[in-house]
Every structure is written in C-alpha cells, then in structure tokens.
Structure 1
Amino acid sequence: MTDRPFLLAAGGTGGHLFPAAALAQELARRGHAVELATDTRAEKYGVEFPARAIHRIPSATIASRSPIGMAKTFSRLGMGYLGALRLLKRVGPKAVIGFGGYPTLPPIFAARTLRIPTAVHEQNAVMGRANRLLSRYVDRVALSFSPTKYLGPKAQPKAIVTGTPVRDAVLAVRDVPYVPPEPASRFLLLVFGGSQGAHFFAELLPQALDLLPSAFRWRLTLVQQAREEDLVGLRHYYEEAGLAAHLASFFRDLPERIAQAHLVIARSGASTVAELMAIGRPAILVPLPHALDNDQLENATRLEQGGGGWCIRQSELSPERLAAELERLFGSPGLLASAAAKSKAMAETEAVTKLADLAEALAGSKETKE
C-alpha cells in the first residue's frame, strides 16, 4: 500500500478533536495522508476535520459500576475493537495516535494486536482515564505539561513533553498584538464554555453586570456563547439593559474572537487553555466542577501560576465576586497587558512540530523493522 495514512483516534469533543486536527494539518503539509477514528458526537466538528476519511467506531464510557452497566459498556467496547480490527486491516495505517476519550481504546488495542506503532497525546495536566490505561501499552506518550498527574511508572520512560498543538485557525491570529483598553474606550469581553459552562455563565453574567457601575457598563461590548435554550432570555435581558452584545450557540471563528478580546471568561479545558496561551489573552477561568480528577482545575491553576489569568472555582464565583473582578480588571489595563504577555510566554510554539516529528519517528521505526 503506497499511500498508507496515519490514523488519529479521538473522542468526539472539541477538547480531543482540536489537537488531533492540528496534527492532521501538519502531517498533511508534510505530504502524509490522515484518517480519523472517532464516535458519533464528532458530527459538529467532523465535517471540517482535515482527514481524507472519518470512521465512526462503536465505543462507550464507563458510566455505571453496576453489573448490567459494566456488561453493556464492555460489550460495546468489544464491538468497537472488532470494528477497529477490520478497519486497520483494510486501511493499513503507518501508526495510530490517540488523543484521549474512550473511543481511542478500540483503535489503539487493535493496533497493538496488529503490531502497528501507537502513541497517545494527553492535553491536560492530569492524565485522563483512557490515556492512563493506554499509556501502559503504547510505544510513546506525548504530554502537554510537566509534570503530569497520574503518569504511571511504566509510561514515564516513553513520555515526551510536546505541548498541546493548536489548529491553523489559532496560529493565523497568533501574531495579533494585544492592545489593552484605553480609559473611556470600548471593552470587549468574550465569554464561552461547554454546554454546562455556557448555562452557568448565562445565569451568572446578567446578575453580575447589573452590579457594575454605569461608567463600566456603557463601555462594555459582550460576545457570549450560550445554549440555544438560553439565547432568547439573554437577548431580552441585554436589549432591556441597553448593552451591546453578540450571542450565538457556537462560534466557528472563535480564535479570531479570542484575538479581538480584552478579557476572556471561560472553562479551562486543555484546548481552551492552549489556545488562550497561543494567542496570548488574559482570562478568568472557571473550571468545570465535579470533573473526574479535577483536570480543568489543574489546567487553570497552571495558567494562574504563570501569571496568565485568574482561576476562580465555580462555587466561589457569585455575581458580586464576578462584578468586583470585572470592575478591577476593566480599570487595570496594565494588569491585563501583563497577563496577556505572560499567557503567551507559556505557549509551546513548537507543539505541532514536535508531535508530527514523533508521529513520523513512530512510522519510521516500523518501516525500519520491516
């Protein structure tokens, strides 16, 4: 097979798919074919994924410890494994690289069965459950942070820190300079999050803005991602309050909007933090509460420790607290500019190059043995 591809495997969320897309773009620039294995959740992202083929592999998350729940989960994973075996025999990939989430389990284990080189990439400061399991068996482990929590002893010798690769759309605005707001000028606030984050911000933000002095409210231009069911209520509130606001359930040009923002309020998923650092924008990060292993809290804490933003737990973020933070930051352009610079200094600018080099090295090791 002369045009054997790299097969990337990723769970069907932006946090897993975006870094996979960044690697796919870089591999394509180097002349390689790329295919993607994911699940049905990827529909909203998969249309634009830079792969010559997208394969849906049956998978399941271990959500219930009951005997019936576990049996259903392992049955579906078994179906996924058999489907992945058939796929890999047909496609004949050079290497299989996973980006986390349970949909990566079947392709990686199938690749091991067929002796195809494997690697996983961990985007968070905490190893995810699927990657934690797979890291024992794959050939290489790529990390975004050093240290990374729960990196097991068997995985440590084969681990390398590459950083989290970001998409071309992010790199395209990386050189847009941060211009701090001037006194009495407009202040652009960008607010976004996953479905839970979007709903929490939709409830919190209007209450917080009501508490801002009018001198700050009239300066504000708000760009906010919200769930479909929250959009009508938010539009009504902002119109009644006389606030300039642009609302949508999903922003396909989010990197450009990050680059335009004076301040970002967001969850702290790995891709979000990586894109904020790559573009260099200050942020108030509100980690998703009750997340397994507190991975978002770890990500936000790393950014805060580097001076690139402020981590506030959801349980501690009242409307009064948010209003006070916004007023403080609105009136401190120097502080915002400093945080923007420190955020950008934390970015791993060669992440996608390092990860593509790792992928080519994996494929080369297989070809050398053959």
Structure 2
Amino acid sequence: MIIGPADRSLVVVRREGNRWLKTPLAGPLGLDLSVGWPGLTLDRAGLPVVAYTRWHSRSLTSQLILAKIDVRGTPHTQRVTAGGWPKSYTPPPAAPVIVRNGSVHVVETYGVGGAVGTLEWIPRSHTWIGLFLSAGRGGFPIGPMFAVPGRGTIVYAAWTEEFPGSLYGGFPVTLATHGREITENVVSERGVTTGLAMTSHGPELAANEWVAADNFSFSFPAPDAVWAGTVTGGGGSELDGRLAGLAAVPHSGAQDLLLSRPDGLWWFRSRSLPVHVGLTAEPRDDGTVALTGRVQGAHGGHVTVYREHAKTRRETVGTVKPGAGGAFALVDSPRARPIFYRAVYVDPATGIPYAKLLRDPVE
C-alpha cells in the first residue's frame, strides 16, 4: 500500500507474473480530507483486502471503508460506517482480519473529546455491528492498527494511543483479545506499535519504545528520544534498532522482522528470538560507570556496549566476549551526562542483533 502526499491518496500495488498491477483506492482527496492508516490482509485466494478511513479535518468526522480487490485488480468497496461516526482528533487507523468462517471483520480505533475507543466491526446481513474491544478516557490514536486471527474464533488487535498527562509516559501499546471474553493488556507503557503476528508461541507484538532524558516530556517523540525495538510475547526479545515490521511466514512457523539500524535496513527470518540481553549501570564515586550484564542463550560472539545519543552517532564504550553463563562487564568514563547505555549482542548463527537499552539515564 502506498499513501500519497499529505495522506490524500491510497494505492495498492501487487505483482502478478512479470508485471505490477496498481489499484487506486482513494484520492486525490480535497484539502480537508485525508486517509487514515490503512490495514492490509490477504484472503484465502491470496487477493488483497484493505480497510481504511476517510477523515475530515474540519468536522473531525470519518468514514470506514472496506475494499476487496479481485484478480483483475478491480476494487469492490463497501462502507462500514456512515454519518461521520466516529469522530476523531486524528484519522482513525483500521485493519481487516479474516476469521475462521472466511468473513472479514474490521478493527478501528479513534479518540475525541477526552474519550478513546477501539471497535471490531462484524458483518450482519446487510449491515455492520460494532463491538467495543476497548474504551475509556484518553487522547487519540497514533500510528497504525493491527489485527490477526488466533485459534478458533479469537481475534487479536494491537494499537497505540496518546494519553495526555499519563503517569506511564503517555503512549501505551495495547493488545486486545476477543475470544469468549474481551480482554486488553498494556504491553508497553511508551511505544509505537509496528506489527502483530500470530506465531507458534501465540500472538507477538512489535513496538518501538523510546526513552528520553526528560521522562516527563509528552511530545511525540521527545526531542532527545533514543529508540529500542521490542517484540513481546512467548518468543519475543529486544533488538538493536527500530522495528519497521513484523509478519508471520505462512505455513512455516517462522516470522519476518524488518529492522532499521544505524547502518541501514535489515530483514531477518527466525522461528523465535531465544536470546535476551540484560544490562545494569552503576555510577561510582570516581566518576566512572560500572556496566555489567548477561546474555541468556549466547553461543559465542561478542557484546558491544554503546553510549546512545539521539542527535549524533552513538559512541562505542567497548567490546567484550561473554564469559561463563553469558556474563560480561565493562567500565566507562563518560565525558558528559545524562547518558543512556545499550548493550548489543549479534548472534553469530543468525546475524540478529539482540540488545538491551537502559530505560533510565545515568546522571
């Protein structure tokens, strides 16, 4: 999917044989209209199914649209919502999900007037029924919405919303489950959701968490933010860089990871993320900082510890080989503070860069 300039158009591009098919879905829209974050899935025939919203910046009204693209590249659209509901301070993101009986549900989230809500839209005869997965006080959604089917009739959904004045940093990442009951859990107190995949370990959620010297800054992101890509769930871990995407590989039990690092964009495929890096920093009276940690699941390789900076290149403190049980230690003499430290272990077998970014700066 390609969102055009100023979020005023939406195009789906797919490859068929030796050629590419382009299917326009929206736009170019007027100055007061824009497209919300769209969601994409494939039906049982491998054809695209897209959900997106049209949002009016003046009235804050929205319209949720579901588009199914046939083999000729022709879209067949239907309106899920009408009458401009729900209103939202930002364009509501949406995602389609195909459940066990083959029908398409759509999940969207919105925020307006100090209230936020996330709904799963379910087709009924010639209309749609909205079921709240989450609702409460808050601000507005940030970033995309993700939804995947689980076992049986279970649907999982994940998203990020801004909560002004929250004690948890203002940007919780939520995972909702709709099975026999509806539950929701905050899996990150401050992050941006970038992927959701159903794996053999259960649902795994990708989010980019950030830390800043001013932990009470509610700007998005904070001007001095340092990022950490995290995958939560039974087979998750923290990685070095920002996660651009997470997807399950059909019929393989593996998952694809798209990771943005200082040296470029990297693509990894793995059945699990079995390595976990731990790190602690202890300031000493002589001005040095003792850095200790452990790499669980390490097999050879080295650990590199960095001083992290938001606006300049990070600095290497040192590189060591993990000892017994994966333990490592270094001593740093930083020239300035506050400072964040990150330990990175690159798995020699897979090349995956596992990491631990300290969430609190060393003052």
TM-score class, shorter: under 0.3
Higher relative contact order (CA 8 A, sep 6+): 1
Using the size of structure 1 for normalisation, the TM-score is: 0.24
Using the size of structure 2 for normalisation, the TM-score is: 0.25
* Higher percent of residues as helix: 1
* Higher percent of residues as strand: 2
